[in-house]
């Protein structure tokens, strides 16, 4: 095994000295024009405006941000820039997404009171909507109360309430507000919630006591409630005083609520110049909504693609680069729910989209946010050569930025004068969940999506996600990788097949080396399955070129010989086993229900599944070697096509995320059948087709 591994590594390293001399896939002149034009400083200037607004879906703040984006696009020469509107009223559905009504706040303040004589008077303001909108939990409803404070700990179990009188009181909790409403408010009568939920768990979790985290209540709760968010430092001060028996009296007032309105999606295009290809689109995606300031998440992605739009439009106008053959589209929706509304509300668009480039958190200064930048591939259920294109440009920026950091010189300018000079060190990684890219890649739409993102970020979803933590150099580099990838794909034609195949071949060798290392830690059966699925995936990478053009015969022949040789090299496979019992079941997707089971702010599956009748779905709680239960569930549904049987679906997700029992996959498929998302088609008589 070690001999095979080192042989593959030698294949990878052999062409490196040649490969690094030139940028990949595009002429040097075009690369130079892009690197010189794209400005991280201009992008950050736009970011500073967006960070002023609390950009909740359908809200006044979101509208102001959307109008700004539209105005900038038109000033950049994208004349068709517009704001599309889709009804959001809690009744309309977009596939599996139930629309959430817009939410706005007129006024909200939380005060601590101090007793003076026989009166309680305002002493210290603890939270203010005007000063810090994130201090008011999203989807809070109006309320006004002066009451004592009671600590309920997590507040998610009845034992947290033992011996405590909550009627008309304010409760202090470590949980997200929505998690305590059923018990604290509905069952025990609390008047409101004060939450100090900590930021998302990373290596820096709870390290900064001054962070105020973005809080959430359910948009569809049958129990109206309001909640304020405070820092861990403030909560610990409360707990210390309560522990001494002190009576803490607070005054809370919220004037807020949901109302009927619209999802707004800003969109614009650079029209394709080829009459035969202009109806095809390469789409740049981000999400415009977020709490204020929401700088890295996700004003950074919004301004990065805005800068791509500006730069490409300007370079085309100046004649430095040709207009794209295919149309390039840019979209700024509310996260996930806005993308679902766009796809279902404008059903002509998804069919035109050949590939997506999604940017969500791409500007974090690593010395401040601790961010690692990722260029992420799509899921195994949707193989595509487009991921290799993004990795090629990501590797190019890694090399150029490392050369500059090490020597002070590089052939291409990929840093900002106002930004950092360190190497990018982008991590080129496999599929992960967490943003709109998973809607594009979902089995209903099957649009390959390149995902660029920072993780971790110690300030995500807090009041500290500010413009001060954003690096113009990082914005420039992310925008360049996106612009180069998108422009290349927009102009891709059969003449490019040979160079594209050479790139994909090299990447296939690299991935095969990784596969062999993983195979060493598996049983023989699981190792054989991993190898089979890997080889199928790599072959389908080549097949995916056919979505852009007819693959030339010589490229097909070269690819077939390469994969035959590769299979011999890594082979030793047992014959494909026959599927047994429930593994032979074949399911087909209900075409009337589009989208994943769990979307943003609404869970289609849990709203319909009868857990009392059918029992819990164990796959949701499963943890594999490289994926959580949510990732397995997402991919299982993606793989339902009326052809694969349950065993085949299980084997693919096992190769992607790690071995998983067949019973858990079948149980989930039957759960999907119970809510009519899938239907049992037939029973296969063989293992693989």
Distance, in Å, from the CA atom of 58 to the CA atom of 373, rounded to the nearest integer, reads 30
- What's the CATH number for 103-258? 3.50.30.30
CB 182 within 8 Å of CB 434: no
Which residues, in sequence order, are bridge partners of residue 227? 193
For the chain (length 689 residues), average pLDDT per consecutive 10?
A: 52 43 87 98 98 98 98 98 98 97 98 92 96 98 98 97 96 98 98 96 94 97 97 98 97 98 98 98 98 98 98 98 98 97 97 98 97 98 98 97 96 95 97 96 98 97 98 98 98 96 96 96 94 96 97 97 94 74 94 91 95 97 95 98 96 98 97 96 52
370: its two tokens: 């601790």
Condensed to tens digits (0 to 9), the pLDDT of residues 193-249 reads: 999 999 999 999 999 999 999 999 999 999 999 999 999 999 999 999 999 999 999
- Phi and psi of 139, rounded to 5°? 70, 20
Tokens 């990082």 sit on residue:
474
Rounded to an integer, what distance in angstroms lies between the CA atom of residue 123 and that of residue 135? 18
Instruction: Tell me how far apart the alpha carbons of residues 462 and 470 are, in angstroms, rounded to a whole number.
Output: 15
**pLDDT at residue number 13:** 47
Report the side by side order of strands in the sheet with 327-332: 82-88, 261-270, 327-332, 281-285, 353-359, 449-454, 373-376, 427-429
Burial class of residue 510 in the structure, from the number of CB atoms within 10 Å of its CB (0-12 exposed, 13-18 middle, 19+ buried): middle
Distance CA 631, CA 239 (A): 38
Please tell me whether the peptide bond between 101 and the residue prior to it is cis, using omega within 30 degrees of 0. Answer: no
The span from the CA of 29 to the CA of 37, in Å, is: 12
| pLDDT for the residue 573 | 67
The predicted structure's pLDDT at residue 684? 59
Residues in the chain: 689
- Work out whether the CA dihedral 408, 413, 415, 418 comes out positive or negative: positive
Q: What pLDDT, on a 0 to 100 scale, did the predictor assign at position 576?
A: 74
What ranges do the domains of the chain cover? 20-99+261-490, 103-258, 494-570, 581-683
657 touches 518 (CB < 8 A): no
CATH code for the structural domain at 20-99+261-490: 3.40.630.10
CA 177-180-184 angle, to 5 degrees, is 120
The tokens describing 375, both together, are 């260029």
Residue-level pLDDT at 572: 61
* Per-residue pLDDT, 205: 94
């Amino acid at each position: 095994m070690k001999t095979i591994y080192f042989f593959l590594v030698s294949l990878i390293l052999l062409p490196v000295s040649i490969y690094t001399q030139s940028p990949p896939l595009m002429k040097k002149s075009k690369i130079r024009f892009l690197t010189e034009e794209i400005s991280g400083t201009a992008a950050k200037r736009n970011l500073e405006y967006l960070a002023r607004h609390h950009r909740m879906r359908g809200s006044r703040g979101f509208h102001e941000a959307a109008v700004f984006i539209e105005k900038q696009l038109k000033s950049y020469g994208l004349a068709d820039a517009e704001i599309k509107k889709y009804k959001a009223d809690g009744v309309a559905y977009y596939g599996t997404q139930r629309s959430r009504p817009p939410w706005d706040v007129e006024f909200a303040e939380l005060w601590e009171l101090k007793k003076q004589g026989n009166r309680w008077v305002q002493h210290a303001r603890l939270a203010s909507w005007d000063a810090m909108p994130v201090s008011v939990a999203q989807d809070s409803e109006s309320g006004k109360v002066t009451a004592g404070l009671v600590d309920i700990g997590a507040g998610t179990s009845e034992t947290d309430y033992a011996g405590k009188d909550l009627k008309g009181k304010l409760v202090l909790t470590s949980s997200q507000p929505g998690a305590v409403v059923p018990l604290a408010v509905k069952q025990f009568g609390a008047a409101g919630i004060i939450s100090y939920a900590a930021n998302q768990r990373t290596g820096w979790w709870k390290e900064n006591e001054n962070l105020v985290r973005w809080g959430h209540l359910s948009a569809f709760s049958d129990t109206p409630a309001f909640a304020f968010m405070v820092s861990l430092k403030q909560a610990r001060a409360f707990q210390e005083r309560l522990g001494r028996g002190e009576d803490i009296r607070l005054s809370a007032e919220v004037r807020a609520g949901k109302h009927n309105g619209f999802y707004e999606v800003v969109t614009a295009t650079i029209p394709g110049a080829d009459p035969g290809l202009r109806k095809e689109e390469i789409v740049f995606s981000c999400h415009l909504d977020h709490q204020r300031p929401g700088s890295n998440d996700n004003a950074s992605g919004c301004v990065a693609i805005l800068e791509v739009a500006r730069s490409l439009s300007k370079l085309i106008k100046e004649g430095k680069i040709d207009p794209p053959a295919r149309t390039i589209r840019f979209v700024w929706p509310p996260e996930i729910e806005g993308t679902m509304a766009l796809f279902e509300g404008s059903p002509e668009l998804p069919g035109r989209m050949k590939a997506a480039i999604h940017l969500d958190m791409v500007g974090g200064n690593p010395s401040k946010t601790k961010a690692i930048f990722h260029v992420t591939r799509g899921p195994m259920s949707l193989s595509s050569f487009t991921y290799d294109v993004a990795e090629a440009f990501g590797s190019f920026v890694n090399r150029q930025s490392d050369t500059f950091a090490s020597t002070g010189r590089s052939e291409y300018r990929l840093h900002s004068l106002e930004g950092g000079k360190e190497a990018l060190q982008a991590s080129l990684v496999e599929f992960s969940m967490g943003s709109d890219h998973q809607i594009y890649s979902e089995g209903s739409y099957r649009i390959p999506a390149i995902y660029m993102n920072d993780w971790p970020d110690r300030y995500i979803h807090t009041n500290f996600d500010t413009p001060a933590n954003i690096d113009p150099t990082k914005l420039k580099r992310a925008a360049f990788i996106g612009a180069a990838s998108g422009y290349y794909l927009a102009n891709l034609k059969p003449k490019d097949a040979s160079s594209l195949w050479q790139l994909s071949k090299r990447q296939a060798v690299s991935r095969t080396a990784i596969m062999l290392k993983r195979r060493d830690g598996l049983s023989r059966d699981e190792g054989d399955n991993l190898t089979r699925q890997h080889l199928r995936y790599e072959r389908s990478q080549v097949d995916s070129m056919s979505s852009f053009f007819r693959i030339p015969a010589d490229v097909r022949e070269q690819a077939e010989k390469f994969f035959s040789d590769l299979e011999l090299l890594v082979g030793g496979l047992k014959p494909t086993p026959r599927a047994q019992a429930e593994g032979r079941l074949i399911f087909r997707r209900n075409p009337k229900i589009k989208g994943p089971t769990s979307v943003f702010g609404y869970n289609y599956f849990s709203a319909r599944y009868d857990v009392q009748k059918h029992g819990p779905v164990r796959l949701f709680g499963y943890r594999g070697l490289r994926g959580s239960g949510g990732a397995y569930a997402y991919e299982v549904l993606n793989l339902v096509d009326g052809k694969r049987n349950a065993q085949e679906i299980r084997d693919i997700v096992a190769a992607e995320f790690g071995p998983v029992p067949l019973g858990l996959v079948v149980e989930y498929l039957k759960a999907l059948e119970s809510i009519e998302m899938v239907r049992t088609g037939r029973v296969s008589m063989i293992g693989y087709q």
